[in-house]
Each structure stands twice: as structure tokens, then as C-alpha cells.
Amino acid sequence: MVGMRSFFLSACVLLLVVGCSDSDSDTQLDRELRGLISSYGLSGDPAEGLDLPAVDDPVAVLGRRLFFSKSLGGDRDSACVTCHHPALGGGDALALSIGVGADDEDLLGPGRTHPDGDFTVPRNAPTTFNLGVWEKGLFWDSRVEQLEDGIRTPDSDYGTVDLAAGDRLSGAQARFPVTSTEEMRGFEFVEGGTNDELRAALEERLENEDGWADEFETAFGDPTITYERIAEAIGAYEESQVFTDSRWRAYVKGDNSAIPDNAKRGALLFFNTTADRGFGCAGCHAGDFFTDESFHSVAAPQIGRGKGDGASGTSDFGRARETADRNDRYAFRTPTLLNVATTGPYFHSGAYDTLEDTIRHHLDPQAALDAFDPETVPLAAAEDFDRNAQEMTDFLDVSG
């Protein structure tokens, strides 16, 4: 069994980080894999047919400047890019993030620290790459969520449309990092004010800064600055970050030489069910976007300050925080595997730096938790790890 697991790990990592090919002939391996591709109805391109803005679209250009601007940070010491830099895989390469109050506000990614000596944001920063491909929801718990008749956000009750959310998930999502005290708002800017009061204050700030009115004029044909336009522009920039031109797509489109044979074997293990001597990974990492956009409990290690859940107050109940359904405890949205080699660390808590460790966790969550050393994750404030892990595994019953 150990040998089989080692082969599986190597093959799956190769599938996710495909390199140059050692074969371009139509082999039995290719025929078997192409049969699976056909049965799953894969096209290789999850963005195919979607109306996504180009990076030089005027609204996306404005969004890029807003995304990089500390003017949207309450204390002017953070920006969207603080936790979502394109050079860091659309995230920050940290297990958990440090938004406001950093020791060096201009240092992004590894090395960013906070005077408290730990991470200040309770969840890993999801990548903004291919954000426009998501259809059902955004954030680890999909608290920005597409409903039949509109979009639900933290500003509206669960299951209820937020009339101010707009009609795109990206724009709806862009309304909220600025309202988080730990991420961008800070603890003094519009202290005690509502989210809408905070957004109104940011509108006024941009109105009083040189240059912004001209940029809104270029983007929208009108210099009026509203937070609805700010969110639309940031969302357009995020949607322009389309990175789907992979070797896997080339293979699906017909180029047998696009990926090596080891990656093809990994793909067979990935797509085949356990009944067919595979590992059924595609059951959750489904379709061309490699996600079912649903929620699953995989007993991911809980590090950091958590979201106030559990006996210690340092755990995170995930989707259950939105649905109030205890069956959703510890369940988080399935991440896409596109660009996965550059979008770590992995899981909602950023507990693992490597794909191999992440896959090993899926193979045996209990063994992985027993072996996990929270001290290997700097700044993670993990003194409650053992207690949180025990509560989680008791609830999920991952034994056997």
C-alpha cells in the first residue's frame, strides 16, 4: 500500500504541475485517458464561452489601479493586492494573511509580520486567478453566493438577495475586504460605522484625491465616484486574470505531447473512481474548473486564530457559519486546481505548503493530523491545535 500511495502522490503532483512530454504517439494510455475526458465532457477550458473582460479594458484598468491602491485601506496601510498579488499566485504565499497594521506595510508575502507576532486574518487568502469562472459563490464559505434571483452577501440574511450586490459575483465580493477590520478597514477609520457608511467614506476619500475623477471618466464616461463603480472595476480587473492556457488544456484539445506519461497515469488515478482502481478525485474536483463548487469536510488542520468557534474560540466551522446547519461544520468550498502549483499554501487555513502533503492528508486525515506539527507554520498561534483537532475529528469521525 505504501508503494501504491507513493506512486499516486507522484502521479497526481505531475498531473497538477505538468511538464514536457516524453511521448507524442496515440498510445493505449492516451486512448484510455481520452475516453475519460470524453465521458466527463471536458473541453479543457473552463473560461470558454464566458464574457470576461480583457486586461486592457478601461474598467479593468481602473480596477487594477484601485486594486493596488492603499486609498481603499482605512488606515492607508493595506490594499487588495496586500493579500492578492499576481506575482504570488493571486494570493500572498502565506498560510494566513496579515492585512492592516503590519510591521512593514510595503512588504508583501513571506516575511510580512505584525507587532502581535501572529497572523491577523483567520483564513488563507484564496487566489484571484480565474475568479470570473466561479459560478456559485466566492470566499471559502461562499458567503457571497449566487441565488436564483440575485446575489446574497454578508450584508443580507442567508438565502436573501442583497439588492446592492450588483449582477456579478466578482463585484459583489469586492464590496467586502474593505469592511474587514483585519484585512483593510483597520480599527479607527469610520469606527463603529456600518458597512455602507464605510463605503461612503471611501467614496468621499477618492473624490478628494487628485486623478481619480479623470480615471472614472475614462472607464465609465462619467467622473462620478460611487462604491458600486469601485466594486465593478475591481471585479473586472479580477475577472481579467484568466490563466487557463495550460498544458492540460492543450492535451484535452488533442496534443498528446503536451503532458508526460507520468502525468497521464496520474490523470487516470485522478478521474477513475475507486471501483475502477482510481482515487475518485474528480468527484469533488470536477469539470474543467476542477471543482464542484460545493462544500466538503476533509478535516483540514486548524491553525491560526480561527473564527471564534469551538470550545477554545479558535476553531472555524466553515460553511456552517453561513447555513447554521451543524452538518456543514468544518466544510469548506472545494478549491479549483487550476494553477495549483503557484496558489499555495493549501486548505482554508493554509496548513500545508506542498501538494504532496496536501494529497497525503486526503489519503488519511487522522494520520495526517496526528503527525501535523503546528510549530512548523510560523506565526500560526496554534496553541489550541490539539484541542481543535480532537473536537473536529470527534465530530467528523475520521477514524478508520
* Segment-wise mean pLDDT, segments of 10 residues, the chain, 400 residues: 41 47 69 97 97 97 98 98 98 98 98 95 98 98 98 98 98 98 95 95 98 98 98 98 97 97 97 96 98 98 96 97 98 98 97 97 96 92 90 82
Q: What is the pLDDT of residue 16?
A: 52
pLDDT score of 184: 98
Instruction: Give me Rg for the CA atoms of the chain.
Output: 22
Rounded Cα gap, residues 95 and 121, in angstroms: 10
Please tell me the distance from the alpha carbon of residue 359 to that of residue 375, in angstroms, as a whole number. 20
Query: In 3-state terms, what secondary structure has residue 144?
Result: strand
CA–CA dist 339, 345 (Å, integer)? 12
Please report the pLDDT score of residue 383 as a whole number.
83
Under a CB-based contact definition with an 8 Å cutoff, are residues 164 and 232 in contact? no
Strands 331-333 and 295-297: antiparallel
The stretches of the chain forming alpha helices (DSSP H) are 2-16, 28-39, 58-68, 169-173, 195-207, 212-220, 227-239, 247-252, 261-271, 320-323, 355-363, 365-371, 385-396
What distances in angstroms separate CA 33 from CA 5, 12, 283, one per listed residue?
20, 14, 16
